[in-house]
Amino acid sequence: MQISRLNRGDGLRRAIFGLLCAGAALFLIFGPFFLSAYWLRILTQTFMFAVLAQAINIIAGYAGYPAFGNVVFFGLGAYATGVLVVKFNATFILSMMVGIGICLFFTLIFGLPVLRLRGHYFAIATLGLNEATKALTDNLTALTGGGMGLSLPLIPGDVETNSRFFYYMFLGTMALCLLVTHFLMRSRFGYAIRSIRSNERSAEGMGINTTRYKVLAWMVSAGFTSIAGSLYAYWMSHIEPAIVFDMAIAIKAFVMFLLGGAGTLLGPILGAFILETVSTFAWSHLLNYHLATLGVIIIIIVIFMPRGVVFFLQERFFLSSLVKKIREERTV
Amino acid sequence: MLALKNLDSGYKPLQILWDIELFLEKGEWLAILGSNGAGKSTLLKTVAGLLKPFQGEIWYERQEIGSLPVYERVKLGIALVPEGRRLFTGMTVRENLMMGAYRQNGNLRNTEQLEKVFDLFPHLTGRQKQVVGTLSGGEQQMCAIGRALMSRPKLLLIDELSLGLAPVVVEKIMETLVTIQKEGVTLVVVEQDVYTALVYADRGYVLQEGRIVKSGQAAQPLSDPDIQKGYLGGIVRGHPSAIHQ
Amino acid sequence: MLFLQVLVNGLLSGGLYASVAIGFSVIWGVMNLINLAHGSMVILGAYITYYLNASTGIDPFLTIPVSGAVLFVFGYLVQKYLIGHVIEASVLMMLILTFGLDMFLMNMNLRMFTADIRSITPVYAGLGIQLGSLRIPYTRLGVFFFALTLTLALYLFMKHTKLGNAIKATSFDSDAAGLVGVNVRQVYALTFGIGSCLAGMAGSLISVMYSFSPIHGAGFAMKSFVVVLLGGLGSIPGAIAGGLILGLAENLASVFLEASYKDFISFVLLVAILVIRPRGIFGKQFYADLKA
């Protein structure tokens, strides 16, 4: 891809970028030792959203299928954990595995018909799937506790240890998601996926089984979202359909993914951090105008950075090399 | 009537046209030639206003119009029949033609112009109520030209007239354009079919990779043996009706 | 006779859903813009009616022009000076943009009107037509009547006025529209204004039938999605058909299933329609499909 060809030349810039990343990673890893509980909680939530956003990136950014309703997997993961732990006394790990299993199954069953749709249609279909699942969960009161929700047993241990536990669990999940995405996208799978986004018909014409790859991509996406959901259930100890299937989560994650930069590796992570920071700031200082502020920030970002933060930064800092590359290509 | 000076244009950030200098007298028929990707469509789109020039000037009747939006240029009498015709697919022939007269006020003039268009393209009269998507290529082209004519243009730009059309149909349309030119309309026709383009035109420009590489009287290239070999596939023995005197 | 009542209720609800959805459909069909702020605009219209009614006692139906006018101006300005300035943003980004707008509007609605649930009880609230065991409240009848009138008015406007034709042409090919002299940016601003106006007027109708608060907007936006997809994008008769089908489906479902399954039904319907016939009943192909 053209962007990576640009980066090769700028040695110094890469070094700085690498240092920044390393610094950030160190900061996050050792965070719990010097940050307050308040900040830990915020960061934990940010990691969670980063996972959700990155999961969306896989199906929407790389494969080009905007899954608005991806939060359905979050809810399914949360409820899998909730129901299994509460009603069947299962262990957390088992419940998480089952959650992933359910989501994979869901992707397979619904993915085949729904992934035949393009763009808007697909987006709305996933929206519908989420809402339908939410409504169903609401109604199956015997199993799920219905609208009142489910309360999970609290984890033994003091508050501080627990908060650190979840901090690292979500950080780990985020890191894992990042790594998996990175290696997947460099593999044959990644090329297939990206070709689907560029021109699906051509991809098919070249012999790529687009249906298989689309479903697989959605499965990966669903899997990570499910993990986040399971962890969330355990973390919050109380879940309701209205919360874990909330479109607001879906949209928030989607916005983060887009703001950061669709189809880039770090974009969704960046988007998650930026939006969470703004959100927290707005919540604490401008409580009454919290939503409005968020709305305005989103509007501003779309107007000035219509392709997302990552592309914006790349164009800004690599502008000279970008222009040079285009000039070079023109005369060839 | 039309003059382009140092014109650079394209699709940001990709530049297609480099330093274009061109002029056109009122009542002339100009042919723009060149292979695919040379920038012919870009040129017409820039003159019509669909593209903003990166640099340079577009002079039309003593006015610099480079910064005017599309609909303002229509008001001044510039009409473009775009590549691919771009008809309003869900609307009928009649509705498309009537839309062509959007800039005019009042209905009387509309019917007058509409009659004129049907006179020029009698084939369309019978198909008035048909949705344009169901017309053949030739009929669509006629409808597209008709739509452009509805705005009573002084300068008519046609992009890729013959694309996908049978030679018989192309000839028919060309003859119609001769009539239109006789009524005082200035024409710029972009064509891939070099022979047909030069036979009817007064003058021509050749574009290559976004630059003008040749220009002159239309009859000239026709008798130039290099051009004949390069573009026309061999020596041409006389040409038929290059007559519009 | 219960069945007949359910049928009638379904049709009456359907008429309302149709009117809520047409503004949304017009904007989407013409500008390829999914206006996620639609829900909050509807609610705003409802509040305008509420306050006019509460302060002057004026009949809610008579406030429809006011809410329409206010929302028209609002929508026109938003498109002209805000949305219209976003170039080279993908369709999805525009969605996010309108979502941000919705957040802003919802917050403003909350601040201005508080989160209290409001409703309007006109003088004739409990009265209605009685045909045997069939009961049709005046309020619902009025809403249905106005809904159809609005829809019809829009249809005639699009078909017979110069501006309506310009909007139609722009929806088919915005470049070509420019080439025949249409000021496309202006058309977009007016279209968004009209869509918002319709949302506002639908809001007035809603205030008569349901109780509402700022957070109810999202539900109406969702319903609009379903209606548009059922009936087909860009089609006004489609919006009516879609609305009626949704209304009927919901009411029928509430007979066989518990009332709480109402939402579930509408979403199953949504997904089913998308999978079976994404184009909807009357719709032309998605603008996005054509471009791609």
C89-129 pLDDT, tens digit per residue, is 677 778 778 888 998 998 898 888 888 888 887 777 777 87
Contact C105, C70 (CB under 8 A): no
Cα torsion C140, C145, C148, C150: sign: negative
Q: Does position B237 have pLDDT exceeding 50, yes or no?
A: no
Amino acid B119 reads D
Residue C202 confidence (pLDDT): 93
**B99-147: per-residue pLDDT in tens?**
888 887 655 456 778 888 888 888 888 888 888 888 888 888 889 999 9
Token digits of residue C220: 């109406």
Q: Is 60 exceeded by the pLDDT of residue C260?
A: yes
Residue C268 distance to chain A (closest CA, Å) = 6
* Chain B residues lying within 8 Å of C30, measured CB to CB: none
- The C-alpha atoms of residue B138 and residue C137 are separated, in whole angstroms, by 59
Size of interface A-C (CB pairs under 8 A): 132
Q: In chain C, pLDDT over 90 holds for what percent of residues? A: 24
Entry pTM: 0.83
Q: How many CB pairs under 8 A join A and B?
A: 5
List subunits contacting chain C, requiring 3 or more Cβ pairs under 8 Å: A, B
* Bridge partners (DSSP) listed for residue B215: B205
3-state secondary structure of B204: strand
Chain B's closest residue to A332, CA to CA, is B209
Q: Answer whether B19 touches A (CB < 8 Å).
A: no
Beta bridge partner(s), residue B24 = B2
* Cis peptide leading into residue B13 (ω within 30°): yes
Q: Which chain C residues are closer than 8 Å to B97 by Cβ?
A: none
Taking the C-alpha atoms of residue A312 and residue A319, their distance in angstroms, rounded to an integer, is 10
Number of B–C residue contacts, CB under 8 Å: 68
Q: Which two tokens stand for residue C17?
A: 């859903």
Q: Given a cut of 90, is residue C66 above it in pLDDT?
A: yes
User: Distance between CA A1 and CA C54 in Å, rounded?
Assistant: 62
More confident residue, B57 or B35: B57
Average pLDDT over residues B34-42: 84
Give me the pLDDT at residue C288, please: 36
Mean pLDDT, rounded, of chain C: 84
**Nearest CB to B74: which of C162, C168, C180?**
C180
Please, are residues B154 and B25 in contact by the beta-carbon 8 Å criterion?
A: no
**Averaged pLDDT, A295-316:** 80
Given this model, what pLDDT does residue B188 score? 92
Name the residue of chain C whose CA is nearest to B156's CA: C179
> What's the confidence (pLDDT) of residue C46?
93
Cα(C168)–Cα(B95) distance, rounded to whole angstroms?
11
Tens of pLDDT along A127-144?
889 988 988 898 888 888
**Mean pLDDT value of segment A308-318:** 74
Optimal mutation site among A112, A126, A131, interface C, most CBs of chain C within 10 A: A131
Q: Which of A124, A138, A196, A293 best tests the C interface by mutation, with the highest count of C CBs <10 A? A: A124
Whether residue A332 has pLDDT greater than 60 = no
Average pLDDT over residues A185-198: 89
Provide the pLDDT confidence category of residue B225 given band limits of 50, 70 and 90.
low
Q: Output the CA torsion sign for C244, C245, C248, C249.
A: negative
Q: Which residues of B touch A320 (CB under 8 A)?
A: none
pLDDT reported for residue B245: 32
Tell me the C-alpha distance between A4 and A18, whole Å: 15
Q: Which of residues 224-283 of C touch A (CB under 8 A)?
A: 225-226, 229, 258, 260-261, 263-264, 267-268, 270-271, 274-275, 278
Question: Considering only CB atoms, which chain B residues are within 8 Å of C181?
Answer: 71, 74-75, 102-103, 151
Amino acid at C279: R
Structure tokens of A190?
């990644």
User: Averaged over A89-98, what is the pLDDT?
Assistant: 89
Query: Which among C87, C175, C179 is the top mutation candidate for probing chain B, defined by the most B β-carbons within 10 Å of its own β-carbon?
Result: C179
Query: What architecture does CATH give domain C2-115+139-288?
Result: Orthogonal Bundle (1.10)
Phi/psi of residue C61, each to 5°? -65, -30
Cβ within 8 Å, pair A330-B13: no
- Is residue A218 very low, low, confident or very high in pLDDT (cuts 50, 70, 90)? very high
Considering only the beta carbons, identify the residue of C93, C104, C286 that sits closest to A120: C286
In this structure, the strands spanning B14-24 and B63-64 are unpaired
B179-190 CB burial, b ≥16 within 10 A, e <16: ebbeeebbbbbb
Instruction: Give the residue from C32, C93, C233 with the most A CB atoms within 10 Å of its CB, the best one to mutate.
Output: C93
CB < 8 Å to B9, chain A? none
Enumerate the H helices of B66-135 as residue ranges: 70-76, 93-100, 108-120, 122-125
> CB distance from C80 to chain B under 8 Å?
no
Kindly state whether A135 is in contact with chain C, defined as any CB-CB distance less than 8 angstroms: yes
The identity of residue C24, as a single letter, is F
Query: What confidence tier does A286 reach under pLDDT thresholds 50, 70, 90?
Result: confident
Asked whether residue C285 carries a pLDDT value surpassing 80, the answer given is no
pLDDT over threshold 90, residue C171: no
Name the H helices within C162-216.
162-172, 174-179, 184-209
User: What is the biggest distance separating any 2 CA atoms in chain A, rounded to whole angstroms?
Assistant: 70
| Residue from B188, B97, B92 nearest B148 by CA | B97
